[in-house]
Amino acid sequence: MTKDLKFGWLSPVIGNRWSDHQPIVMYQERNVLPQALPHFDSLWIADHFYGFDAKTDPFLEAWTTLTWMAAKFPDVMLCHHVLGVGYRPPALTAKMAATLQVLSDNRFILGIGAGWRGDEYEAYGYDFPKPSVRFAQLDEMLQICKLMWTEDEPSFSGEHYSIDGASAPPLPSVVPPICIGASGEKIGLPLAGRHADIWNGFARGEGDWKDIWRRKLDIVMTSATDAGRDPHQIDVSTTLERSLPEDDAAAEQLLEELSVWVELGANYFVMDFGHPPTAEHVPRFVEQVMTPLRNA
């Protein structure tokens, strides 16, 4: 079964010394995305509260930013990259997701993970338990979301979370797809197999990265099968931080790189192009990388 290739554009919410401390997404909204996004399937926004160089660098909140972008660009899917499970209570997350799904005319994807940035949790006064607990929380959150998106007054009682008649009207006419960002082979990847419509992963670790990726993908697919799901319905995604190609050689190199990913089973590329000053090189990426891959 051949899946359609998809491309997402990740727009950075940080403002740093390379962007004159202006959030890059605000610059891109005016100067890049009107020309770029018509060629892309989705727009992605990262979920953190402050940056990685200096806490004083501007860093926009993810839900607010994605909602703003949903109104600015009405023809593209919308996803977070990815929400931290501990940053917002499950019922609130479900309600916010249902609302944005309705307001965006069914363009929202719930991108979420177990969180990893302990210092950020602690700075905001949030608990940051061990990974096994965070993934158990994520599992329960996803169960709550699915109930609140499809039932009028659902209840749920779990080890970590509970709801009692938590209504989220108006219910979305299309249940938001779920994108899970995970890479842990014991807990995270099996959870993605059980719940994800999109798995966003990477291949870091000891050994050949291709072997690592194949092993991780197999865990997701096998877990989906074990859960009674069709694994071929899961979009396989990875995020690549690359510059827009400025000449034929750079485009050819990027095409070759993405072609290898396609051979390894990836069909959804989330591209982080950093801070391009203009959309000048977007057509080259579309014509020399995106189009050949889609036509292959």
Q: Can you give the CATH number for the domain in which 29 is found?
A: 3.20.20.30
Give the domain range for residue 32: 6-295
For 185-205, give one letter per residue: b (16+ CB within 10 A) or e: eebbbbbbbbbbbbbbbbbee
pLDDT along the chain (296 residues), means of 10: 88 94 97 98 97 93 98 98 97 98 98 97 97 98 98 98 98 98 97 98 90 98 98 98 98 98 98 97 98 94
Cα separation, 261 vs 137, in Å, equals: 31
Place of tokens 């071929």: 232
Residue 117 lies in a domain: yes
With tokens 């919410």, the residue in question is: 13
Q: What is the model's pLDDT at position 287?
A: 98
Contacts of 272 (CB under 8 A, 6+ apart): 10, 12, 239, 240, 241, 242
Residue-level pLDDT at 49: 96
Among positive and negative, which fits the CA dihedral 45, 50, 51, 52? negative
Question: Do 83 and 156 touch, CB atoms closer than 8 A?
Answer: no
Flag whether 1 is in a domain.
no
- Express the helix, strand and coil content of the chain in percent, nearest 5 each: 45, 15, 40
The predicted structure's pLDDT at residue 3: 85
Q: Look up residue 19 and give its amino acid.
A: S
| pLDDT for res 206 | 81
Structure tokens at 232: 């071929």
What is the domain count for the chain? 1
Coil, strand or helix at 141: helix
Q: Dihedral of the CA atoms 98, 269, 226, 153 (nearest 10)?
A: 0
| Confidence (pLDDT) at 1 | 52
pLDDT 10s digits, 246-270: 999 999 999 999 999 999 999 999 9
User: What is the rounded distance in angstroms from the CA atom of residue 201 to the CA atom of residue 274?
Assistant: 19
State if pTM tops 0.75: yes
